[in-house]
Structure 1
């Protein structure tokens, strides 16, 4: 595409203040900038410092990307100083306050738009008020949801038909209506706010759906071959406008770019874990990571450690709990554990270079909380999964991985519990790991995962489904600008 036609087209990106949503939003900004668009990313000061190296690297590649700062009202809402990232809100109450505080960003966003006059605003779906901000200035608002077509379809059907209100107990299964497959959930697996009295508590799904309907359309970090039934269902049956442009993690081709997709406030020595993996046989190591928000109790972490030990599998375990200052003891760590698993187990106590780890030939599977970024990265690396959903859209995502794609096995998590998750015993993890790594069905899952990895790569390349859909989106934006 001739970049001279697009160089003056200016797009604002306003990601939600959470790693799982900011990282893919930065990927998408890079995609637009690589086609000649002028891109501006709006971040709070803390988030800007976290992603400074990633953004600077994009600039060094010649991409037109800049950052505008927006102040987050942490002190006004009595949040700790510097609490500008969702993972720092460690209780339900804090997270609710944090989200309420984001509503106060509406006026500062208006000021930035008035000053810089972008042509388009790509704002996170959690900023439901962003659609009316864009409308005030007569600019296009695109929504970025951070999830996939399957989860969006399931969520919309849940909100419309409310099948969870027709069962008699928290554990009784119900079918989500009007989907291409028979998908069953229980009330236990739903967010707490979905089970509240809608006559008394405004439902966030209603607000989100109204915002989506009023926006121009949705950018989806997925690819058509992964979930074609649900991409078609979302657009043709539900009548929504959307473009699949992923997996965006494939934008980065070199080791440095892949390693820098994350939180730069953690200083992991990426070479240490990769060197450790170099000594292992292909498909012999399980990577265990639960994202940036999940905060398991010491008791649950101990069950994970003991399950890994009992399985006999080689593993990398990412635990975001540093040793207490001045102490050698960690409450979650079983006595003598590290010595017993020496040589076959590696513990990383901060941020890990996940993409590089998953791509290593020694890694044969991942234990994941079913965050969409982790699932996509696992799919791109061609590794099967043990699914351990905790919150958000993760129970939907588990159904996609296990039931539809058939590249994973569930650990048995049955309850939606923000941060802490359901209580899962060591025996359940041991069983799931054996199913993931051993036997004929494990090989079939791995084979299906490898096929999907190939399809993901082709979709993102020139001429692929995501490349073509991205071109279609660009053409629409150019037409809108010409007609304005």
Structure 2
């Protein structure tokens, strides 16, 4: 994200490249290439770009930065950041833990999962801000239908479109008795869901908190980024960590913007099958997810990198405060 803020080709070039042009993000330890259409356009999104520039300016003037990450999640990035910018960095992640104050209505999700076989459910959730057009909801429903998998689909309160506008033929039967599928509206207890033995895959918008929670739960992902940092996060999941399968989302668009391309139900079903399959590629992906999950849990233990970084952060801030007071 910081690399893009400092070197956004859409801001630097007098004429923006074509939507399908490949843009390589500079200043990173590994190659990250995105389509121009997956980038924030400073001209179309002036307010967001101005805000991001303020963040970049604050970063440049700060004492240091605390990141919600850990070394094995972004291999090479922290050392590169320190070397390239000479900045102080503390990693204090993952901070994702299951909530204990689960409401009765939220328990409905977990009770439904209790009745499903191990690894048989695909969990689809896209955060509280993502908005799906009726055409996108229809294709998603079709993809879940074609996948043959059990599914738990959490719909944001923003997606309040009448079901008659998006529900494909025969889909109602899948969720009517909640036998193969459950549609849940509103906030759902994501960490307990991801850690439930019945869940075998997570379809996500690639929001950073969701990525951290999935990694902490040893979960493989089907990626469907929408906007903000989500396309960069997808690259990390799919190409660097190799614990996910991309749906091929190619358009940066917030909930206020309309997407020209709608991902097909067949594409969605295929991606679910690749993540939850039993072939050698799927098994290798699963092993990587489990290995990363173990590392995520260790960093917050005593002697782990995040545990040590929190202590180092407190000590350095106390020393800095003391130097300011006695200056």
Q: TM-score, normalised by structure 2?
A: 0.88
The aligned runs of 1:315-354 (5 Å cut-off) are 315-321=151-157, 330-341=164-175, 342-354=178-190
* Contact 2:17–2:36 (Cα < 8 Å) also in 1: no
What per-residue deviation string (whole Å, max 9, x for no partner) do you get for residues 312-349 of structure 1?
A: 11110011259979x8x542223542313541111101
Name the CA distance, whole Å, in 1 between partners of 2:319 and 2:71.
24
Say whether 1:182 aligns with 2:21: no
- Matching residue of 2:303: 463
Name the CA distance, whole Å, in 2 between partners of 1:417 and 1:322.
15
Structure 2 counterpart of 1:365, from 180, 201, 208: 201
* Contact 1:365–1:386 (Cα < 8 Å) also in 2: yes
Name the CA distance, whole Å, in 2 between partners of 1:229 and 1:289.
30
Name the CA distance, whole Å, in 1 between partners of 2:200 and 2:212.
16
Say whether 1:301 aligns with 2:301: no
* Contact 2:174–2:180 (Cα < 8 Å) also in 1: no
* Contact 2:135–2:262 (Cα < 8 Å) also in 1: no
Alignment partner of 1:293: what SS?
coil
Structure 2 counterpart of 1:440, from 280, 284, 287: 280
Name the CA distance, whole Å, in 1 between partners of 2:191 and 2:292.
16
Alignment partner of 1:366: what SS?
strand
- Matching residue of 1:172: 21
Alignment partner of 1:348: what SS?
strand
- Matching residue of 2:92: 245
Larger radius of gyration: 1
Q: Which runs of 5+ in 2 are unaligned?
A: none
What per-residue deviation string (whole Å, max 9, x for no partner) do you get for residues 61-83 of structure 1?
A: xxxxxxxxxxxxxxxxxxxxxxx
Name the CA distance, whole Å, in 1 between partners of 2:234 and 2:195.
21
The aligned runs of 1:163-312 (5 Å cut-off) are 168-193=17-42, 203-250=50-97, 255-256=99-100, 259=102, 269-312=105-148
Q: Which runs of 5+ in 1 are unaligned?
A: 1-150, 260-266
Cα offset, 1:164, TM superposition? 7.1
What per-residue deviation string (whole Å, max 9, x for no partner) do you get for residues 27-69 of structure 1?
A: xxxxxxxxxxxxxxxxxxxxxxxxxxxxxxxxxxxxxxxxxxx
The 1:219–1:481 alpha-carbon spacing in structure 2 relative to 1, beyond 3 Å, is same
The 1:337–1:164 alpha-carbon spacing in structure 2 relative to 1, beyond 3 Å, is farther
Q: TM-score, normalised by structure 1?
A: 0.61
Alignment partner of 2:253: what SS?
coil
Cα offset, 1:230, TM superposition? 0.5
What is the total number of aligned residue pairs between the two structures?
318
Name the CA distance, whole Å, in 2 between partners of 1:352 and 1:176.
35
The 1:460–1:194 alpha-carbon spacing in structure 2 relative to 1, beyond 3 Å, is farther
Cα offset, 1:232, TM superposition? 0.9
By relative contact order (CA 8 Å, sep 6+), the higher-ranking structure is 2
Name the CA distance, whole Å, in 2 between partners of 1:388 and 1:316.
16
Name the CA distance, whole Å, in 2 between partners of 1:289 and 1:416.
18
Bigger mean CA deviation after superposition, 214-223 or 361-370: 214-223
Name the CA distance, whole Å, in 2 between partners of 1:430 and 1:282.
19
* Contact 1:243–1:470 (Cα < 8 Å) also in 2: yes
Alignment partner of 1:378: what SS?
helix
Structure 2 counterpart of 1:452, from 267, 288, 292: 292
Name the CA distance, whole Å, in 1 between partners of 2:118 and 2:36.
40
Q: Could you say what the CA RMSD is over the residues aligned between the two structures, in angstroms?
A: 2.8
The aligned runs of 1:56-205 (5 Å cut-off) are 151-152=1-2, 154-159=3-8, 168-193=17-42, 203-205=50-52
Alignment partner of 2:299: what SS?
helix
